[in-house]
Structure 1
């Protein structure tokens, strides 16, 4: 059985910054980091503003704390059930309202500490990142497809905010999920911040990688129950169309999308953004459901690459499928981190952050538009002149 070690987490799972100070996660960057944009590290006092969403709808956001007391937490068995923090982004009835926060200062402080960033990533400035969501505003009328998002190992749900806001602006309800004790810092409603007990488990002895993906699949099943069941936890849950559900994730969150689809037939379509798979698909594959593998265009995720799990999983994807790699990208490309890296004067992959945002949004949205709304393939039909970085593979 494969073991999830600290080295594997750094090289394959962690959605981490390519810091000049040199963290273990720099092994994820396939290209020489760029330092020609942004101010000097540690000199930034103005908050980052995320790129505006591209869809026609204003965006609302609310935070939903959930506790599954039917399960024992695998990382802290003495905890009172399995805790999840969920941020919902959705089309809002009208623009305005108080701006939704990006993250808590304690979350960003612990992230910077966990990545070894020191003063290069000032916690208060990162926490003040400006979003485009109105906090707790009323949703727009109508029934919307639901997309679940799961972050990379050791980082939090807010590292996928630009994608979540963009999908919401295009008409989706998006549930970004923080999985207890798998992030450097997850702040609960009462102010307590949970640490990364799973990180400590990696340091001590390593664990089967499937513990993470199977646990996240159970987490997502619970989230779906609480959002689409007979007594939903969100008072506006009526806007969710439970017949149209997708899931995307980054790093091990992307691998968890496939595991979740195997475990729960309610998830109709899945996207893995640059994550290694930690268990094989069953003999029946995904039972005809569509799947997108979106990754780095380097020795890792090209066909025949270092991550052999993509080659191994590909034949079992028995429905609509695409294998797309992005030239110039790094492991962090599919999250908010390229924007953070440049803003704080940190090294970043060759691909410009604006292109990273545009391409990630374009291909993820096109996938869900195709499979949850019946739209044409659009950008996923094949290579196009306006997106020369994207390479399509049919091994």
Structure 2
């Protein structure tokens, strides 16, 4: 176990990363860079597009508004019951459905850009209109598919994991991507409400303990989502395609910590992934019941010695496990952000890996992990370094 001091230091570093909300371009633009970025944004209107999924299935997407009446919202108790917005991306019948599902609303994009100081250099409608590949209202493909629940980084909306969700759905997974109320720069809820990051101010006030509470609260959220997708009276009308015995959880940043927190509390979850997230809520000393877990992070921050919570979390993991780092990656390399920033002409000198490579690596290793541990398909990609992925290091502390 890490000491209280080391845990506090690690979580303070996480707060610096997370509360800076670098959620649009993964870089701070200098005045010198602002004009080229503005020009790129103005000339690329309607051209932003998520990378095309590579799996054999067409994909569909539905949006759910879920309310957990058993809990009050932890950040705004006077708001009443805990609310979640969930995008469910799933294998669909080819050639069906309506238009491509929307990426985000213009107001969500505006708030996201404003949080990073990019509202004057990147066009919010351009970001909102990013082309996705899942079709709205498409009938589900025949069969039953494993369920993967995704949780985004703190202050970052669920939309930034859309590309990963579409990729997994195209490979035969039902993917539920969750927005946790009052924990993002802005999330649209029914009734014209856009809820902003009240939790950000609370976490600044409470320090490391606040981030631990975020992860624990998200674990309750994710278990509730699993309830609503696998229970006797599910909230999703296509829930019959979900294989209730094959459930995984993954997340980025604090969402990755929440994956472990969910596994610690919910035995239904068979496998989990933490993408570059500090374990503010530590991995239990008793482990995760022998279930598999993947730690996938940036080399700069999550090599041994870079994050004490990974150093102490690793020996506590008591099942199949891998610790992988990606050379040249940054904190947001495991999201949609690098691919969209590349199209906007925005570069981060501190993150030399391209959006194309970071997308391909994230997709391949996340899918390989769930294929092996939810579907029983051996994936040699997870056995050790490969010539085709020289950026990926297998860590052996």
TM-score under structure 1 normalisation?
0.92
Q: Is the 8 A contact 2:60 2:134 kept in 1?
A: yes
Matches within 5 A, 1:188-203: 188-203=189-204
What is the total number of aligned residue pairs between the two structures?
382
| Deviation digits for residues 323-376 of structure 1 (CA, Å, limit 9, x no counterpart) | 000111011100000012112222232001111110000000000000000011
SS of 1:334's equivalent in the other structure is coil
What is the aligned partner in structure 1 of residue 125 from structure 2? 124
Q: 1:18 aligned to 2:20?
A: no
What is the aligned partner in structure 1 of residue 81 from structure 2? 81
SS of 2:120's equivalent in the other structure is helix
| Deviation digits for residues 42-90 of structure 1 (CA, Å, limit 9, x no counterpart) | 4342331111101000000000110111101111010120010000000
RMSD of aligned Cα (Å): 2.1
Q: Is the 8 A contact 1:47 1:126 kept in 2?
A: no
Change (3 A) 1:108 1:6: farther
Q: 1:158 aligned to 2:164?
A: no
SS of 1:338's equivalent in the other structure is helix
Tell me the distance in 1 between the aligned counterparts of 2:58 and 2:334: 23
Q: 1:313 aligned to 2:319?
A: no
Q: 1:275 aligned to 2:281?
A: no
Change (3 A) 1:145 1:385: same
Q: Is the 8 A contact 2:38 2:122 kept in 1?
A: no
Tell me the distance in 1 between the aligned counterparts of 2:138 and 2:89: 10
Tell me the distance in 1 between the aligned counterparts of 2:377 and 2:184: 36
Q: What runs of 5+ residues in structure 2 fail to find an aligned partner?
A: none
| Deviation digits for residues 81-129 of structure 1 (CA, Å, limit 9, x no counterpart) | 0010000000001234221000011111111111111222211100000
- Identify the match of residue 387 of structure 2 among 360, 385, 388: 385
What is the aligned partner in structure 1 of residue 353 from structure 2? 351
What is the aligned partner in structure 1 of residue 227 from structure 2? 225
Tell me the distance in 2 between the aligned counterparts of 1:172 and 1:22: 41
Question: Greater helix percent: which structure?
Answer: 2
Q: Post-superposition shift, 1:257?
A: 0.3
SS of 1:129's equivalent in the other structure is coil
Change (3 A) 1:317 1:194: same
Q: Post-superposition shift, 1:22?
A: 6.2
Q: Is the 8 A contact 1:149 1:177 kept in 2?
A: yes
| Deviation digits for residues 179-223 of structure 1 (CA, Å, limit 9, x no counterpart) | 000001010122210011011213445352211000000001111
Change (3 A) 1:205 1:245: closer
| Deviation digits for residues 213-241 of structure 1 (CA, Å, limit 9, x no counterpart) | 00000001111111101110001101000
What is the aligned partner in structure 2 of residue 9 from structure 1? 15
Change (3 A) 1:257 1:205: closer
Matches within 5 A, 1:25-64: 40-43=39-42, 44-64=44-64
What is the aligned partner in structure 1 of residue 66 from structure 2? 66
What is the aligned partner in structure 2 of residue 26 from structure 1? none
What is the aligned partner in structure 2 of residue 98 from structure 1? 99
Change (3 A) 1:22 1:77: farther
Q: What runs of 5+ residues in structure 1 fail to find an aligned partner?
A: 24-33
SS of 1:318's equivalent in the other structure is coil
Change (3 A) 1:15 1:225: farther
Tell me the distance in 2 between the aligned counterparts of 1:209 and 1:131: 32
Q: 1:211 aligned to 2:213?
A: yes
Q: Is the 8 A contact 1:15 1:331 kept in 2?
A: no
What is the aligned partner in structure 2 of residue 332 from structure 1? 332
Change (3 A) 1:167 1:15: farther
